[in-house]
Chains A and B, each alone.
Chain A
Amino acid sequence: MNPQRAARTLGLSVIQAIPTIIGVILLSFFLLQAVPGDAADVIAAESGSATEAGMAAMRSHFGLDRPVLQQLEAYLGNLASLNLGVSPRYNLPVSDLIFSRLGNTVLLMFSALGCALAAGIALGAVMASFVGRWPDRVLSLAALLLYSTPGFWLGLMAIILLSVQLGWLPPGGVSTIGSPATGLAHALDVARHLVLPTLALAGFYVAIFARLTRAAMLEVSRQDFVRTAHAKGLAPAAVALRHVLRNALIPVTTVAGLNFGTLLGGAVVVETVFSWPGLGRLAYESVMARDYVVLMGILVLSSLLVIVANILVDLLQTLLDPRIRAH
């Protein structure tokens, strides 16, 4: 593809992203202002004690006693210089807080999405090739069952079976604390901890991708160019892979990209069940703690992620189908 064109597309997407991000900030800011209570109330609640002077000092320390619009102005001003602000509750820059957990969330999301795509596409392909016969029906029902199961319940059942009863996998956390392992050993340790949360989060999406792949492959396989390929004498497997699957991946990648943002939301519950120190849980906790700078930082980041994901999906689709030109 033309690099100049790619650069232009990228630039346009970035420019179009800015109003979205500002919109996200405004919406979340005003929504959070509407929630009763503030950060000082939370700290007092947790401390079990408070004094009038102490609460006043805390509010002034958090900047909560300033008028609302002034607080918003200050935040936007900071954002313009790429500063996400400081969390008064943790006494840390928001970017530090987010980046300390970003890796864990990205790891979990990519692993879930990756597994879901791989398993989903494979299953969908199998379902499509046995269409109408019992493997298709059984797998379709299984996919539907997975799609209907709440992720947190799946996670809980998985913990009981695989962690407590069988002892194969750890029940939570991201790695064995205090272990001196580095390099490959550490990576394997994290991988072991990653299995169950990935399973819980990915289950839902495996079903989506499987069904989508199946439908897309069936749709594509009816089209003329596939009949031509068959007529040319290509082996059925080659037809399936090179022509059908490749084109069927287009709607799959679209949906995958669209779901990227909602993975973060679903991760909140999974991260809670597995004590996975990620952004989903941090976002939920910051709503509870009325720590709005942290929440807005996470939302800004997640919007960026969604936009980036959509750009990547667009690029990927151009690779898959040269007829789709980046415009």
Chain B
Amino acid sequence: MTSTPNPIPSLTLTQTQTQTLTPIAATLTAITRRASLGLLLAGALLAFAPALHAEPTRGGTLTLLLPSEPTALVTVGNVATPILSVSAKVTEGLLKYDYDLNPQPQLATAWQVSPDGTVYTFTLRQGVKWHDGKPFTAADVAFSIGLLKKIHPRGRNTFANVSAIETPDDHTVVLRLTKPAPYLIRAFVATETPIIPKHIFDGADPLTNPAISAPIGTGPYKFKEWVRGSHIVYERNPDYWDKPKPYIDRLIVRVVADPAAAAIAFETGTVDLGYRTPVPLADLARLKAVPTLRFETRGNSYSYNVTRLEFNLDEPHFKNEKVRQAVAHAIDRNVILKVVNYGVGQVAYSPIAPGLKTYNDPTPSPYAFDLKRANALLDEAGYPKGADGVRFRVPLDYNPIGADGARLADYLRTTLARTGIAVTVRSQDASAFIKRVYTDRDFAFTTNGASNLFDPTVGVQRLYWSRNFIKGVPFSNGTHYQNPQVDALLEAAAVENDPARRVQLFKEFQQIVARDVPDLNLYQPEFITIANQRVHDHSLTADGVESNLADVYLQ
């Protein structure tokens, strides 16, 4: 359909121009050229993507690709990404959210938050049935929230302020809070707070309930079968409350572990849809030239990620502020983004992702890329260069989940070598990494990724709050940062009902941590959803493909 457009002249560099640049800059330029072309092409395709909404055609089978197999099909006790991918197809939430995280009805048709922020009233949808025919009532909602508060990895914190859940009638739920929780209204998406049937889950251990692997919900798709190691089959729910949806007959979820094989699967049309960039980043440019594929970046706003470098503030070298500042001066975030993530994303200076525009402080780091300054600071800190040019050696542990960790570690090793810090990269699998960093605290610094989730209080506070330094708990305050001022700001923001004041509190917080530099936030990766041209309306909400996919149709 489309052919590769001619390169824009201003972006083309001659061979000689490239060779006179320094190697890293040359790397930068070469990738910029390719990435820019790719982005241009993507932009062109998006612009032409039909937004015409004729009557969606019915029928067909959609094949969704997952890079790893889920261990359960409902996000009750475990919120690993593969489970997030499938959970909402069957179990829905009270609300869904548009791209800017504004709530919209799903199982709740109306909602009210009292002016002081301590009473939440939800009016539930009438006439909704569970897949086994029983009616959906407020008792199910009350039960779900109560259970999630107990066993969900984030539920305990998200619903911490909820002191009572009332069900005055079958279609009204009232939550009473001890203190305001300004983030709470955004916590009701299907994957974060799934509404599960009380009559199935009540009374038995939820983690071993067979319904975790054969779920019953209110969603547009009914679970049909799960062939372990291969695929999951969902079928259209003919009694879905949002008629005439869903439009497709069947949804097949297929596990393809190898990203290169996933790319091939998209090209050959074996799979129709995949999200969170399921193909190798290096392949994106090539895939964008394939006429049957479409690329979408919207639908990834529920949970922004920030890739970061975390120091262990108890480690002798990084205890010293000057050393940390030197490391900050030694990294060039633009190069990191280009080299590690192929330019897919944006640079981030703050732990609050740039995508969370309301709260993000876009001010660049006070420590700009300056190798001379880095070297000077290290001299000042009392680490002179030895005869071999090395000041000191430190190990670097990278989070092995995701392919960019190893590349980032390689970049850091190279750039820190130029300041005289000799980095030894240590690799290990996810479990060993978690134990080393959070239980044994046997590390100097790590590269890690943190999800902002749907609100900084939920996603960011846990990394900086001194009371969240708990050994043995992953993704807690790994740096062991303790700043009473920051604690006060975070605690105030957690219960601040006035939106403007809340933004102010977070902005102050970001300025302090940018100065204290207990960690370095590097970039926010952009997640790309790839779809076959016949798939429409797959990413209409903030959670995109992780939503219930009720609107999707094939044509």
**Contact between chains at A44 and B261 (CB < 8 Å):** no
Given the contacts A46-B80, A277-B228, A89 and B71 also touching, CB distance less than 8 Å: yes
Verify if B433 is at the interface (C-beta below 8 Å from A): yes
Residues of chain B within 8 A of A51, CB atoms compared: 153-154, 156-157, 473
Verify if B520 is at the interface (C-beta below 8 Å from A): no
Within 8 Å by CB of A90, from B228, B258, B267, B440, lies B228
**Contact between chains at B264 and A159 (CB < 8 Å):** yes
Chain A's nearest CB lies how many Å from the CB of B104? 25
Chain B's nearest CB lies how many Å from the CB of A199? 16
A53 to B151, CA, bound (A): 8
A101 to B230, CA, bound (A): 9
- The chain A residue sitting closest to B428, CB to CB, is A36
Verify if A80 is at the interface (C-beta below 8 Å from B): no
Verify if B488 is at the interface (C-beta below 8 Å from A): no
**Contact between chains at A52 and B470 (CB < 8 Å):** yes
Interface string of A252-290 (1 = CB under 8 A from B): 000000000000000000001111011001100000111
Q: Which of B135-153 contact A (CB under 8 A)?
A: 151-153
Q: Which of B357-393 contact A (CB under 8 A)?
A: none
Chain A's nearest CB lies how many Å from the CB of B328? 25
Q: Which of B245-259 contact A (CB under 8 A)?
A: 250, 252, 254-258
Residues of chain A within 8 A of B153, CB atoms compared: 44, 47, 49-51, 54
**Contact between chains at B435 and A170 (CB < 8 Å):** no
Chain B's nearest CB lies how many Å from the CB of A274? 7
A101 to B255, CA, bound (A): 14
Verify if A25 is at the interface (C-beta below 8 Å from B): no
- The chain A residue sitting closest to B303, CB to CB, is A48
**Contact between chains at B157 and A45 (CB < 8 Å):** no
**Contact between chains at B229 and A277 (CB < 8 Å):** yes
**Contact between chains at B230 and A177 (CB < 8 Å):** yes
A100 to B350, CA, bound (A): 47
Residues of chain A within 8 A of B81, CB atoms compared: 46, 48
Stretch at the interface among A8-16, A55-63, A222-230, A231-239: A55-63
**Contact between chains at B228 and A91 (CB < 8 Å):** no
**Contact between chains at A58 and B264 (CB < 8 Å):** no
**Contact between chains at A177 and B431 (CB < 8 Å):** no
Within 8 Å by CB of A275, from B256, B432, B440, B449, lies B256
**Contact between chains at B432 and A36 (CB < 8 Å):** yes
**Contact between chains at A272 and B79 (CB < 8 Å):** no
**Contact between chains at B151 and A54 (CB < 8 Å):** yes
Chain A's nearest CB lies how many Å from the CB of B163? 18
Verify if A178 is at the interface (C-beta below 8 Å from B): yes
Residues of chain A within 8 A of B151, CB atoms compared: 54, 57
Chain B's nearest CB lies how many Å from the CB of A1? 40
Residues of chain B within 8 A of A144, CB atoms compared: none
Residues of chain A within 8 A of B229, CB atoms compared: 100-101, 104, 277-278, 281-282
Within 8 Å by CB of A37, from B77, B267, B435, lies B435
- The chain B residue sitting closest to A291, CB to CB, is B71
Chain A's nearest CB lies how many Å from the CB of B354? 19
**Contact between chains at A52 and B429 (CB < 8 Å):** no
Interface string of A100-132 (1 = CB under 8 A from B): 110010000000000000000000000000000
**Contact between chains at B230 and A43 (CB < 8 Å):** no
Q: Which of B448-484 contact A (CB under 8 A)?
A: 449-451, 453, 462, 470, 472-476
A38 to B81, CA, bound (A): 19
**Contact between chains at A177 and B63 (CB < 8 Å):** yes
Residues of chain A within 8 A of B257, CB atoms compared: 272, 275, 281
**Contact between chains at A47 and B261 (CB < 8 Å):** no
A274 to B210, CA, bound (A): 30
Interface string of B230-268 (1 = CB under 8 A from A): 110100000000000000001010111110010011011
Verify if A297 is at the interface (C-beta below 8 Å from B): no
Interface string of B58-73 (1 = CB under 8 A from A): 0001010000000110
Q: Which of A12-43 contact B (CB under 8 A)?
A: 35-39, 41-43
**Contact between chains at B228 and A36 (CB < 8 Å):** no
Verify if A151 is at the interface (C-beta below 8 Å from B): no
Residues of chain B within 8 A of A52, CB atoms compared: 470, 472-473
**Contact between chains at B431 and A288 (CB < 8 Å):** yes
Verify if B270 is at the interface (C-beta below 8 Å from A): yes
Chain A's nearest CB lies how many Å from the CB of B301? 17
Chain A's nearest CB lies how many Å from the CB of B323? 28
A31 to B450, CA, bound (A): 32
Within 8 Å by CB of B79, from A48, A58, A171, A177, lies A48
Verify if A319 is at the interface (C-beta below 8 Å from B): no
Chain B's nearest CB lies how many Å from the CB of A291? 9
Verify if A174 is at the interface (C-beta below 8 Å from B): yes
A35 to B473, CA, bound (A): 19
**Contact between chains at A100 and B77 (CB < 8 Å):** no
A316 to B207, CA, bound (A): 49
Verify if A72 is at the interface (C-beta below 8 Å from B): no
Residues of chain B within 8 A of A45, CB atoms compared: 399, 401, 430-431, 433-434, 474
Residues of chain A within 8 A of B152, CB atoms compared: 54
**Contact between chains at B228 and A100 (CB < 8 Å):** yes
Chain B's nearest CB lies how many Å from the CB of A172? 5
**Contact between chains at B430 and A163 (CB < 8 Å):** no
**Contact between chains at A41 and B434 (CB < 8 Å):** yes
A101 to B229, CA, bound (A): 7
Chain B's nearest CB lies how many Å from the CB of A242? 45
A309 to B63, CA, bound (A): 40
Residues of chain B within 8 A of A281, CB atoms compared: 229, 257
Verify if B129 is at the interface (C-beta below 8 Å from A): no
- The chain B residue sitting closest to A164, CB to CB, is B264
Residues of chain A within 8 A of B210, CB atoms compared: 91
A37 to B213, CA, bound (A): 26
- The chain B residue sitting closest to A156, CB to CB, is B260
**Contact between chains at B474 and A36 (CB < 8 Å):** no
Given the contacts A54-B153, A90-B71, A274-B261, A49 and B79 also touching, CB distance less than 8 Å: yes
14 contacts between A and B (CB under 8 A): A37-B429, A37-B433, A41-B431, A42-B430, A43-B71, A45-B430, A55-B473, A55-B474, A61-B207, A164-B264, A171-B268, A172-B261, A282-B229, A290-B431
The 4 closest A-B pairs by CB, nearest first: A37-B431, A277-B229, A46-B80, A37-B435
